[in-house]
Amino acid sequence: MSELLSWIDQGIQAYNDYIGGYLILILLIPTGIWFSFRLNFLNITKIGHAINVVRGKYDSKHAEGDVNHFKALTTALSATVGTGNIVGVALAIYLGGPGAVFWIWVTGFLGMTLKYAECTLAQKYRKFNSDGTVSGGPMYYMEFGLKDKIGRWAKILALVFASATILCSLGTGNMAQSNSMSDAMLTSYQIPTWISGMIITFLVLLVIVGGIKRIADVTSKLVPLMAAVYIIATMTVLIAFADKLPAALSHIVADAFTGTAATGGFVGSTFIMTLIWGVRRGLFSNEAGQGSAPIAHAAAKTAYPAREGIVALLEPMIDTIVICTMTAMMIIVTDSWQSDIKGVGMTVDAMNKGLHHFGIDGMGGHIIAFSLLLFAFSTIISWSYYGSRATIYLIGEKAVKPYLYVYGLFVFFGSVWGLDIVWHFVDMVITFMTIPNLIAMLLLSSVVVKETKRYFDAMKEYK
């Protein structure tokens, strides 16, 4: 069995190193730049408006959908704010050096516009199911939005994306999360991974069988709590090392274009490795352009597709620009990135060093373990919804329950499998979603521009 897994892992790595990684680079950043210019950088100018929408200023009782703007945002955020913010950032720095953080920032900044565009499209082309619930996402705007542009290829593209979404739900939103959770419990409390896996699987199934409304109810409470706990803890560390913050920022910017020579346990990198790992982990963290968040935002109650797009652009800002940055700065200012520790251990080491300054020893592992449990659990339950919508699209509503039980099984698999193969699988399946989605977004860019104009023209009348 171990030899088979090793052979599979080698094949996955070959794809990631020589095909997938470069395809993402070629498409993701240029597409983000393209939309940023076409939409007049609304990822900067409309942040205030987005906050007002989330606050409920423009809510309408007559708008169709399953959840309000705030719950749609927290559901999507719960899927993105996860192990990428704690483990993914650490891996990016370990493999690509501090300069990888710069490219995480670039991915997050451009990702705000990409999130706006894909979620606007998801709202425009969503459909209502027989039970009154909403289904939406890239597979729908591919099939119905591209039909007149590329004919039968529109349906083929949609089928590829929906199939990839199911695979990604089992990898990105599932195994990577449960793997990090069980690893944290083993590291901090010596709890065997199979025991953690069984408990996590049971709790996940308890929530996800209730559908989007129960998921949204849980995530709307979990997301603010988990963000507050982690931000307060990391801020405490950054205050302790405040004098090193300017040097850390300088290090990040300088290394972004030169790479870093190997130091201690650090793997070392060239510029291209720094770029690739920054973009990979940035994409894994905020999922902008991947096409996952539009599935959640399609369920929001709103009369204007662009209004939910505006809400969605807040995700990369919160997830990547704020939370990922705090993790990265904590790791760099404490010099934990120069140790031979990999994965969650690097973040725990940084937290311990920071809290030691305040006479608090041994708490880093507990804080990271607690944060990981909340972050990863919320991601797992949200991704089950994404996978279930893709299942409905491919097979029908009757297949949802079987899918959810298979999903639960993969929660357990992720808990007990090795770290490397899980993350290699994650990097691979992300490309299977992102590449078709970015192609569709480019082909439908005129629709996004039209919906943007229609919405903000209406807002002028509202004022």
Q: pLDDT per residue over 298-342, tens digit each?
A: 888 888 999 989 989 998 998 888 888 999 999 999 999 888 787
Look at residue 305 and give its three-state secondary structure.
helix
pLDDT of residue 130: 75
pLDDT tens per residue, range 185-209 = 887 788 898 999 999 999 888 888 7
- The reported pLDDT for the residue numbered 296 is 83
Over residues 232-247, the mean pLDDT reads 92
Beta-strand relationship, 127-128 and 134-135: antiparallel
Q: What is the mean pLDDT of residues 119-130?
A: 89
d(CA 303, CA 284): 30
Least Cα distance to 112 among 197, 193, 33 occurs for 33
Which of 36-50, 166-180, 184-198 shows the highest mean pLDDT?
Answer: 36-50
Q: At residue 390, does pLDDT exceed 80? A: yes
Query: Residue 220: pLDDT above 80?
Result: no
Q: Would you state the pLDDT for residue 66? A: 65
pLDDT confidence of 267, banded at 50, 70, 90? very low
DSSP designation for 46: T
What's the mean per-residue pLDDT of the chain?
84
pLDDT at 195: 93
Domain 19-242+270-462 indexed as CATH 1.20.1740.10: yes
Strand, helix or coil for residue 218: helix
Query: Which stretches of 313-363 are DSSP H helices?
Result: 314-316, 325-333, 344-356
Interatomic CA distance for residues 56 and 418, integer angstroms: 44
Share of the chain above pLDDT 90, in %: 33
CA distances from 282 to 193, 399, 447 (A): 27, 32, 27
Task: State the CB neighbour count (10 A cutoff) for residue 1.
Answer: 5
**Residue 381 C-beta-side C-alpha neighbours within 13 Å:** 31
The pLDDT-based confidence of 22 (bands split at 50, 70, 90) is confident
| Helix, strand, coil shares, percent, the chain, to 5 | 80, 0, 20
What integer is the mean pLDDT of 73-90?
76
Most confident option among 42-46, 208-212, 275-279: 42-46
- Given pLDDT bands bounded at 50, 70 and 90, which one contains residue 264? very low
| pLDDT of 55 higher than 60 | yes
CA separation, residue 399 to residues 202, 205, 390, 396 (Å): 20, 16, 10, 6
pLDDT of residue 404: 92
Kindly report the pTM of this predicted structure.
Answer: 0.84
Give CA–CA dist 173/381, Å, rounded.
Answer: 8
Residue 266 reports pLDDT greater than 50: no
Please tell me the number of Cα atoms within 13 Å of 28 on its side-chain side. Answer: 36
DSSP 406-456: HHHHHHHHHHHS-HHHHHHHHHHHHHHHHHHHHHHHHHTHHHHHHHHHHHH
Alpha helices by DSSP H, listed for 259-334, are 271-286, 293-297, 305-312, 314-316, 325-333
In this prediction, residue 444 carries a pLDDT of: 96
Q: Does the pLDDT of residue 157 top 90, yes or no?
A: yes
